[in-house]
Structure 1
Amino acid sequence: MRTALSAAVVVCAVTVVLPGAASAAPTAATGPVADSGAGVERISVAADGAQADDNSAGASITPNGRRIVYSSSAKNLTSDAPTAGDKVYLRDQRTSQTTRLGYLAPVQPPVISGDGEYVAYPHQWMNNVRIGHYQVSTGRSASGNCALFTCNQPSLSADGQSAAHASLSYRQQTYGQRVQVEDWDTNTTETVAAFDHTDPSRPSISGDARYLAYQDGKAKDVFVRDRTGGTTSGPIEGPSKEAAIVQLSENGSKVVYLSGPDTYVHDVSSGAAQLVPDVRGVAIDPTGRYLLYAPHDANGPSLTLRDLRTGTDETVANQPASAGIDAVSADGRDVVFQSAADDIVPGDTNAKSDIFVRRFY
């Protein structure tokens, strides 16, 4: 698919109502966590500081670094933790409190809105997959508009009002996959793109919900939709004419994608791409300045944070470790990651995968 895609708007009801243009310039985070200095901390712990008794994974962090959401099969993280199965937990770094969100097991890592107020994650429901939405301050929950579809790959706007996802009809597979955006304020669902296949589209929405980046997984193309301007740009691709999306920065200025063995950071405004050779991009910070990547060289650090403006690198983890999207807070201050290594922090004896946060200043 090498031509611009048109948008079709479909009005649909959703189960509950939950609560301008993006700039290419970096944005500052508000209300950061109190400065506790540089270092690394394990955050998948119980209220009394005890280490988790089972594996934790799939962490995402808010731009201000205060809230971290992840999944875990541990049974001792909260007083109401279930006795079996993965559940989603939210860690508040300011209060050092951990809260369980929902009873259903996630089938993909949870995501959190930029303001830390909403969390979403796909879960199995009967014969399909739905996306559960949770409001942190009230504990309210709802499922998105996926009654006739299986929905996954969620991405939330900064205020949690807009949620992008991929959907697929489980009754008529010939429908193929759709890239959609739900708006809980207007009770509408916008179909941004439709494909005749089931390859992943990995939608990634900007903080103000104006821009949506996604891929045609079959054609190996990446596109960016300006929902305000009503235009779609792309395909965005590397020299190999193939691309796989990693993430759109929260301010909508940069799109990270993979092409061949390299990573590219595409500037949405200018159309120029910055090459980061021989690495696998993992995430980008909300301002579009800091790239988290995994070097292909197995002899080096497993995760590295690059300042794209200065070209300087900071080691996130020397031990075997991994991370997902939304793993970097604004201005590269904090990075969340998972690792089963037992020498990242003292007293790690549980022989399980834990969630850590690396603070650089």
Structure 2
Amino acid sequence: MRGNTNRSTTRRVRAALSTAVAVCAVTAVLPAAASAEPAAASAEPTAVAGAAGDGGAGVERISVAADGTQAAGASAGASITSDGRRVIFSSSATNLTADGTTGGDRVYVRDRRTGQTERLGTLPPLEPPVISGDGEYAAYSVRWFNDVRIRLNQVSTVREISLNCLAYSCGQPSLSADGRYVAHVISSVRQPSFGQRIEVRDESAGTQETVAQLGHTQPSRPSISDDGRYVAYQDGQAQDVFVWDRTDGTASGPIEGPSEEAALVQLSKDGGKVVYLSGSDTHVHDVSSGAAQLVPDVRGVAIDPTGRYLLYAPHDADGPSLVLRDLETGTDETVSEQPASAGTDAVSAGGRDVVFQSAADDIVPGDTNGMSDVFVRRSY
């Protein structure tokens, strides 16, 4: 191996240059994910008057208080559901829900259709929370004595389910569309020689599958497809990216080729595209054909579930901070002119909604908290 906003309405066209076994046990069983009711996820977020959720283009602040006024900021790493209805994020604000919360960050889900925000769990997250494509399940890692475990929540009932990793630590969860499959990393701080393993937990069957065994603890960052078939991950020590097919039990890669180094950004939820970084460029790898589309001199941040829309951050500090590119047409649309950041799962299907964080005070009127907030930009 080798060593290692107002948003501008102008659309600018640029050429697109183109896994010691340690079994994780669930302390409470989820309903059979295959029978999860998808109706809520398919509903349009149309009931919040005057917000981007009412069907029109615009920007909406998500980290708002229970009465609709501004809250005391939010932490980084928000994610959005495929239909754009629900947004998950963490915050230390005490007025996001009517009952209030104190003592560090907590995880919240905002329903843009109803305008309601729910707090999930009682422990602070150790990393940004993620939400399933249908908006019914959330996952995030928490400190549990000397180890780390993944906390699952059923959003609609605010029910906690712990993914107990016994004497090991679990983290970096990625969820399938219905929350049935959880890809994650398992490691042991007490046995460094264990390295780490990438695993997929089937919450319906109660089974665990090893995707890869890595003899180190460098970043691996798994990303699972909506149907749970494909898992993309990186070997952070060798700086290679691979795609595991759970149907036939094979891995392809390194997808960047034998002479480059790469870091994984995200697998699109349809399993068709893998976004990775190499040098100063971003590449979008087609899983079927093996071809990669080059997006030069930008840092890829996320890709929409269909694999068509890439959210990226230009390296040029003088331009916009976040841009959405239609990979088919090469058309770029500015998401934020002001300084802003975003995480994976930041783009809804079809590129319609983008969730991001910014401390700028001129994205929406009345932003005077002087802190970072979560926003959603709707394009149409």
TM-score bracket relative to the smaller structure: over 0.9
* 1:139 aligned residue: 158
1:354 equivalent in alignment to 2:373: yes
Q: Secondary structure at the match of 2:172?
A: strand
* 1:199 aligned residue: 218
2:347 and 2:149 map into 1 onto residues whose CA distance is 27
Q: Of residues 130, 143, 152 in structure 1, which corresponds to 2:171? A: 152
1:247 equivalent in alignment to 2:259: no
Q: Of residues 50, 56, 61 in structure 2, which corresponds to 1:37? A: 56
Taking structure 2 as the reference length, what is the TM-score of the superposition? Answer: 0.88
Q: Of residues 177, 184, 203 in structure 2, which corresponds to 1:165? A: 184
* 2:38 aligned residue: none
**1:84 shift after superposition:** 2.4
1:327 and 1:65 map into 2 onto residues whose CA distance is 10
1:312 and 1:262 map into 2 onto residues whose CA distance is 18
* 1:303 aligned residue: 322
**1:11–1:187: 8 Å Cα contact kept in structure 2?**
no
Matches within 5 A, 1:52-63: 52-63=71-82
Taking structure 1 as the reference length, what is the TM-score of the superposition? Answer: 0.93
Gap runs ≥5 in structure 1: 20-28
1:283 equivalent in alignment to 2:302: yes
1:328 equivalent in alignment to 2:360: no
Q: Secondary structure at the match of 1:114?
A: coil
Deviates further, 259-268 or 52-61: 52-61
Q: Secondary structure at the match of 1:235?
A: coil
Q: Secondary structure at the match of 2:340?
A: coil
1:239 and 1:225 map into 2 onto residues whose CA distance is 18
- Aligned partner letter, 1:15: T
1:184 and 1:169 map into 2 onto residues whose CA distance is 22
- Aligned partner letter, 1:216: D
* 2:362 aligned residue: 343
Gap runs ≥5 in structure 2: 3-18, 32-40, 47-53
**1:145 shift after superposition:** 3.2
- Aligned partner letter, 1:146: C
Q: Of residues 303, 313, 333 in structure 1, which corresponds to 2:332? A: 313
**1:150 shift after superposition:** 1.0
1:14 equivalent in alignment to 2:22: no
Give % identity. 72
**1:238–1:259: 8 Å Cα contact kept in structure 2?**
no
**2:58–2:377: 8 Å Cα contact kept in structure 1?**
yes
Q: Of residues 131, 141, 154 in structure 2, which corresponds to 1:112? A: 131
Write the deviation string for residues 78-111 of structure 1: whole angstroms up to 9, x where unpaired. 1222222000000000000000001100110000
Pick closer, same or farther for the CA change 1:240–1:297 going to 2, 3 Å: farther
Write the deviation string for residues 280-336 of structure 1: whole angstroms up to 9, x where unpaired. 000000000000000000000000000000000000000000000000000000000
**1:9 shift after superposition:** 9.1
- Aligned partner letter, 1:106: P
Q: Secondary structure at the match of 2:253?
A: strand
Deviates further, 165-174 or 120-129: 165-174
- Aligned partner letter, 1:47: A
- Aligned partner letter, 2:28: V
**1:173 shift after superposition:** 1.4
Write the deviation string for residues 218-268 of structure 1: whole angstroms up to 9, x where unpaired. 000000000012111000126861000000000000000000000000000
2:154 and 2:225 map into 1 onto residues whose CA distance is 20
Pick closer, same or farther for the CA change 1:213–1:142 going to 2, 3 Å: same
Segments ≥4 residues shifted beyond 6 Å: 7-11
**2:24–2:163: 8 Å Cα contact kept in structure 1?**
no
2:242 and 2:142 map into 1 onto residues whose CA distance is 27
Q: Secondary structure at the match of 2:242?
A: strand
When the two chains are superposed, the root-mean-square deviation of aligned CA atoms in Å is 1.7
1:82 equivalent in alignment to 2:101: yes
Pick closer, same or farther for the CA change 1:322–1:239 going to 2, 3 Å: farther
1:340 and 1:226 map into 2 onto residues whose CA distance is 40
- Aligned partner letter, 2:342: A
2:169 and 2:25 map into 1 onto residues whose CA distance is 16
1:183 and 1:8 map into 2 onto residues whose CA distance is 20
- Aligned partner letter, 2:311: L
- Aligned partner letter, 1:82: T
1:224 equivalent in alignment to 2:236: no
